[in-house]
């Protein structure tokens, strides 16, 4: 197996294990972290991206996000196999989601609200408004990819590690705190769709629907936002 694909697979699995894991700890019934709030979730998610980025940055570039892979390829920064990266990312996301379910199984069983169960796996709007929900995901991913692309484009090796991993943590944290209140800031198709698929197939007690009617927004929105972010970054700053 190509080491870059392996890095994307394992890195995305770790990202989802830690990211969905912090959500499970905060919202599922009976956990030690139950009710600890949005700040814990946003810090947890920022760190969930930061940790695998440190581990696999030199192996694969630490994309872990199809929107970022597509955007970097569109502006010529990433010259690898886009399809291979995206497949590895989605498979990794599904494995990570499975591990979260396994780890928190007793708490999933104790949580009677099916919407709360789904909320561990995937994002959803605070107020359902298709147009504004889509715009929210576009803006959030634009911010992410704009600054990542700007940082990468200013280096000679084209590697994400040159940006400084602490900056990645800060970007994700700021997006979550400032922009995440509307849709839960998926900003990553694999992060949302991979776990949503696992929610649909796992044998969960009291499980509800997987909200497929909304599922396209955290896929299409990040792809659009990522492309715009990369294109604007390169157009303005070269």
Q: What is the structure's pLDDT at 148?
A: 84
List all residues 6 or more positions away from 104 whose beta carbon is below 8 Å from its beta carbon: 21, 24, 25, 28, 31, 120
Q: Residue 84, Cβ neighbours under 10 Å: how many?
A: 14
Query: What is the pLDDT averaged over residues 34-55?
Result: 96
Report whether pLDDT(6) > 80. Answer: yes
The token duo for 135 is: 């715009």
Query: What is the pLDDT averaged over residues 106-114?
Result: 97
Using a pLDDT cut of 70, give the percent of the chain over it.
93
Q: What is the structure's pLDDT at 167?
A: 82
Q: What is the structure's pLDDT at 57?
A: 83
Report whether pLDDT(8) > 70. Answer: yes
Number of domains in the chain: 1
In 196-224, which positions are buried (b, 16+ CB within 10 angstroms) versus exposed (e)?
Answer: bbbbbebebeeeeebbeebbebbbebbbb
Mean pLDDT of all residues belonging to the chain: 93
Query: What is the pLDDT averaged over residues 133-155?
Result: 85
3-state secondary structure of 49: helix
Report whether pLDDT(157) > 60. Answer: no
Residue 152: band (very low, low, confident or very high) from pLDDT cuts 50, 70, 90: low
Report whether pLDDT(237) > 90. Answer: no
The token duo for 231 is: 């294109």
Burial of 91 (0-12, 13-18, 19+ CB in 10 A): middle
Report whether pLDDT(150) > 80. Answer: no
> Which residue in 148, 131, 132 sits closest to 226, CA to CA?
148
Domain extent for 165: 3-237
List all residues 6 or more positions away from 175 whose beta carbon is below 8 Å from its beta carbon: 140, 143, 144, 185, 187
| Domain harbouring 174, CATH code | 1.20.1080.10
Cβ–Cβ under 8 Å, residues 198 and 215: no
pTM comes to 0.94
Report whether pLDDT(156) > 70. Answer: no
């Amino acid at each position: 197996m190509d080491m870059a694909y392996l890095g994307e697979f394992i890195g995305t699995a770790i990202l989802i294990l830690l990211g969905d894991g912090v959500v499970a700890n905060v919202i599922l019934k009976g956990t030690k972290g139950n009710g600890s709030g949005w700040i814990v979730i946003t810090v947890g998610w920022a760190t969930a991206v930061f940790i695998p980025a440190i581990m696999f940055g030199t192996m694969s570039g630490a994309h872990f996000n199809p929107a970022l892979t597509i955007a970097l390829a569109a502006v010529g920064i990433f010259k690898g196999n886009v399809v291979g990266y995206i497949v590895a990312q989605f498979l990794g996301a599904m494995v990570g989601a499975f591990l979260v379910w396994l780890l928190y199984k007793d708490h999933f069983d104790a949580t009677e609200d099916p919407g709360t169960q789904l909320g561990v796996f995937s994002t959803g709007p605070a107020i359902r408004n298709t147009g504004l929900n889509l715009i929210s995901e576009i803006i959030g991913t634009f911010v992410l990819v704009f600054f990542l692309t700007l940082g990468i484009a200013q280096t000679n090796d084209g590697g994400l590690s040159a940006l400084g991993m602490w900056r990645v943590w800060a970007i994700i944290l700021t997006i979550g705190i400032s922009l995440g209140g509307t849709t839960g800031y998926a900003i990553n198709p694999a992060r949302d769709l991979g776990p949503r698929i696992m929610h649909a197939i796992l044998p969960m007690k009291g499980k509800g629907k997987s909200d497929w009617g909304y599922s396209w927004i955290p896929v299409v929105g990040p792809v659009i936002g990522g492309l715009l972010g990369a294109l604007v970054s390169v157009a303005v700053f070269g």
